Amino acid sequence: MQKALVGSWYKPRYSSQERQVGVGESWATGAIAAAVLVMFATGAFANVMNQVIGVSYVATYEVAGKYIERGKRTCYGLTIVNVDDPLDRFQFCIARSEQEATAVGEKLQVNGRRSKFVDQVLGYTRAR
């Protein structure tokens, strides 16, 4: 990557003169690119490993609370707790209409996958 960058020309955003990429600039560009790739690779690795070595499960959970997180996208979430193991908790985002239709204290039958890397809720239905 350094060979491709060093010596090439670019025009800085707030300048009318072109500049040539130096060794320091190419290293900075490479470091930024590596940091971004590592960030995405970590999440991708966890999901792939969960699919490969994760264990499927089905359990009954109770809705312990609702929350809304605002950001780039709004997350309408539920906090659920395993009926048999109160330390087993999940938080996940769902559609706004689903969140509004779900009451605190309601029981859900949850299916998902577990591994030491990440726990995933794949789906749920209302338990009776």
Both 8 and 45 in one domain: the answer is yes
Mean pLDDT for all residues in the chain: 82
Domain containing 42 equals 2-52
Cα 114 to Cα 51: distance, rounded to the nearest angstrom:
9
Confidence of residue 27 (pLDDT cuts 50, 70, 90): confident
Residue 78 pLDDT: 93
Please say if the pLDDT value at position 77 is more than 80: yes
What average pLDDT does this structure show over 79-107?
91
Burial of 78 from C-beta contacts in 10 A (0-12 / 13-18 / 19+): buried
Residue 67 has pLDDT above 70, yes or no: yes
38 and 12 together in one domain: yes
Q: Are 48 and 105 contained in the same domain?
A: no
Task: Report d(CA 91, CA 71) in Å as an integer.
Answer: 17
Distance CA 66, CA 103 (A): 9
